[in-house]
Structure 1
Amino acid sequence: MRILVLGGTGFLSRVVAQEAVRRGHDVTCTARGVSGTPPEGAAFVRWDRAEPVPDELTRAGSGTAGSGRAGGTTPFDAVVDVSRTPSHVRRAVTDFPDAHWTFVSTVNVYADTTTPGGTPATLPLVDPVGTDEDPKESPEVYGAMKVACENAVLAGAAAALVIRPGLIVGPGDPTGRFTYWPARLADAAADGGPVLVPEPVDEPVQLIDVRDLAVWIVDSAEVRRTGVLDGICPPLPRSGLLAQVAAGVDAAPALVPVAAAVLAEHDVTPWSGPRSLPLWIGEPEATGFLAHDVTGSLAAGLRIRPFADTARDTLAWLRATPDATVTGLTRAEEREILAALP
């Protein structure tokens, strides 16, 4: 099968391309710059998606690929896109309408973050924003632009699957959010000190290993799966996740739960960034954000590896990559907060 991975040099898109190459597919990756490299075995075409599609893509495999119909007009059987930019997605769907599309969206498209057990069929979406905006200036437009991208794919592609993941983690993660916990618990294994964790310790969390998501994306392309599905693990308590992480890095730390009000007093922020605690939302009313019902996704073939394995492999990658991003509290900041507790 001929697969076009729009991206192919970044985090998820590169792992998708790598998995497709491993299975023997003919893979072409595109990217605007040279900040990353496609996996070995994949072709690469430079493409700034604000510009017309390059001739190399329209010619690739011409006359032998397509959607399985005689005389198919697209050179690719499948397209995988992770873009958040509506104009880029609309252009690409217009250029390759006959391929099977897998569009990687986000759970940020959901307007309701309060209802646990929601599914793509039951949760309302935010209103779409079809213009190209900068989420750094207005974070709320991220999900809204993804809705517009979803709409373009579902309306314009011959067959399409929309996958809505939450936090994507594992080796190569450029955000450093999950990475904080394998690193922190490994340090605790070395120095024996306590580890600060946010309350409530059993708040539900959901995430997915990038490799599991990539496998599912390629599986779905091979069978031309369609519909809209969430791409995350079943909800599990944060304490359970941290227990798996601890097992993966051979740690058994003493965890010190700290109330959200106390963390706020010490200027600790949720989710990511400096002086933060990753995998903590910090908004009790938003627990539905990480508590979706993914029964449909599991029935559609999504498989989730133990997060102990994810933690082990993430720590190994982190140790081999000294400049890797790790967000969250510094050890000194954590000690300062622990020392101030009654």
Structure 2
Amino acid sequence: MVDVLILGGTGWLGSRVAERWLDRGARVTCLARGHRPAPDGAHLVAADRTAPGAYDAVADREWDEVVDVSSDAASVASAVAALAAHTRHWTYVSTISVYADVDGAGDDESAPVRGPGADGESDYAQEKAAAEALVRTAIGHRGAVVRPGLIAGPGDPTDRFGYWVSRFALAGEDPVLVPDTTDKGVAVIDVDDLADFIVALGDARWTGVVNAVGDPHTLDEVLTQAREVAGHTGDVVTASDQWLAEQSVAHWAGPRSLPLSLPPQHRGVWSRSNTAYKILGGRLRPLRATLERTLDAERKAGLDRDRVAGMTREEEISLLSAIE
């Protein structure tokens, strides 16, 4: 039987990876803080990865596969130190945010990545880049680094992708505020397609670095399909980037934002090469299918629920009144 250790495994992507390994008949252990349960069939080891001896309970056996999704380089370093000698294959899930050039349209995995921050401080992308380097150095020919782009689908804790299809559904016959979509795009990978790919690489013990990103779509296409899936029949009111900035509306993510909208010079975020992903057998389900799956989940969660990205309907209505 294949023994798999997932460092995490109780969050959004990690739990999907655990479930896929369980579907293959693997024996799965999840090492996490224990704030959430492990998937049915997986064994949970509760541990704080920042504490001494965090891996003591799992370092006394051999692992066929270790999967790590951490964005904390220090936690990755301690895991590698404790477990590298006991692991046949290691998969580190990174991000395309590690690339140094945000305008790298069409760039593949050979593009330069970001270096460390000044004065020892680092952001999310720099932490991921440092963690990649640790894994590639310590694990070498036994390691895979997967760089996803925007992950979408049911259960997304960032609320970015789900905002639009849920907002169009909530608005119904009433207007919806959207950003100017000129020269903007989006590339999404469904969380379940990504989980399948991560497990397939681990099962094959593939080594190397690969972007796991969707095909590029214009932002207009994404909004149009989201509107169709939601059955929205009201007006679509477009606001310029300048006007939105003047109203303190952010782009991409976070509170009081219009998610997924990025300045045109960030085209590398939605147009990285996915050639290697496809060659390796990675699947990309249609955008509409992911939108439909997401809307089902959004309806169950409540279309008018509090969100971590986007705007409340009240904020949106206020802006619509102002722009008219």
Q: Would you say same fold, with TM above 0.5?
A: yes
- Please state how far the C-alpha of 1:103 moved relative to its aligned partner: 0.6
Post-superposition offset of 1:130: 11
Write the deviation string for residues 141-175 of structure 1: whole angstroms up to 9, x where unpaired.
11111111001111111511111112222211111
Q: For the Cα contact (< 8 Å) 1:129–1:145, is it kept in 2?
A: no
Please, what TM-score do these two structures have when normalized by structure 1?
0.86
Task: Report the CA distance shift for 1:326/1:179 in structure 2 as closer, same or farther (over 3 A).
Answer: farther
The farther-off stretch of 249-258 and 287-296 is 249-258
**Is 2:303 the partner of 1:316?**
no
In the other structure, the counterpart of 1:196 is 177
What is the root-mean-square deviation in Å for CA atoms of aligned residues?
2.2
Q: Describe how 1:179-218 pairs up with structure 2 within 5 A.
A: 179-188=162-171, 190=172, 192-201=173-182, 203-218=184-199
Alignment-derived partner of residue 145 in structure 1: 127
Aligned residue number for residue 34 of structure 2: 33
Cα displacement (A) at 1:327:
1.9
Alignment CA distance shift 1:253-1:102 (3 Å): farther
Hey, what does 1:90 align to over in structure 2?
77
Partner residue of 1:239 out of 209, 217, 220: 220
Q: Which deviates the most, 239-248 or 97-106?
A: 239-248
- Tell me: CA distance 1:164–1:132, structure 2 relative to 1, closer, same or farther (3 Å): farther
Determine helix, strand or coil for the equivalent of 2:147: strand
Of residues 254, 262, 265, the one that matches 2:243 is 262
**Farther off after superposition, 245-254 or 81-90:** 245-254
Provide Cα deviations, 1:261-298, integer angstroms capped at 9, x if missing partner: 121222211112221000012x3322222221211211
Deviations 1:97-147 (A, max 9, x none): 2321111111111110123111111x22110369996xxxxxx61111111
Residue number in structure 2 paired with 1:295 = 275
Q: 1:107 aligns with which of 96, 99, 104?
A: 96
Shift of residue 324 of structure 1? 6.7
More helix by share: 2
Identical aligned residues as a percent:
39
Letter in 2 for 1:110: Y
- Cα distance, 1:18 vs. partner? 1.2
Tell me what 2:136 maps to. 154
- After superposition, give the CA deviation of every residue in 1:4-44 in whole Å (9 maximum; x if it has no partner): 1100111111111111112211111010232x111001111
- Which whole-Å CA distance do the structure 1 matches of 2:250 and 2:102 have between them? 19
Amino acid at match of 1:37: P
Deviates more, 1:293-302 or 1:216-225: 293-302
What SS class does the counterpart of residue 313 from structure 1 fall into? helix
Cα displacement (A) at 1:248:
3.4
- Give the whole-Å Cα distance in 2 for the aligned partners of 1:212 and 1:94: 30
Shift in CA distance, 224/130, structure 1 to aligned 2, threshold 3 Å: farther
Residue 68 of structure 1 corresponds to none
After TM superposition, give the deviation of residue 58 of structure 1 in Å: 2.7
| Count of equivalent residues | 317
User: 115, 119, 142: which is aligned to 2:108?
Assistant: 119
- Structure 1 distance, partners of 2:233, 2:269, is 29
Match of 2:211 among 225, 230, 235: 230
| Kept after mapping to 2: 8 A contact 1:86/1:131 | no
Runs of 4+ in 1 over 4 A off after TM superposition: 129-133
* 1:193 to 1:29, Cα distance in 2 relative to 1, 3 A: same
Query: Does the 8 Å CA contact 1:87/1:132 hold for their aligned counterparts?
Result: no
Structure 2 residues not aligned, in runs of 5+? none
Structure 1: which 5+ runs fail to align? 63-74, 134-139
C-alpha distance in 2, partners of 1:130/1:47? Answer: 31
Equivalent in the alignment of 1:70: none
Mapped to 1, the partners of 2:117 and 2:200 lie a distance apart of 30
Task: Return closer, same or farther for 1:131/1:56 CA change in 2, 3 Å cut-off.
Answer: farther
Q: In the alignment, is the contact (CA less than 8 A) between 1:248 and 1:308 conserved in 2?
A: yes
Distance 2:292 2:162 in 1: 10
Q: Which residue of structure 2 aligns with residue 10 of structure 1?
A: 11
Deviations 1:154-206 (A, max 9, x none): 11115111111122222111111112112111123x3x122222112451211
- Indicate conservation of the 8 Å contact 1:248/1:307, yes or no: no
TM-score between both structures, scaled by the size of structure 2:
0.90
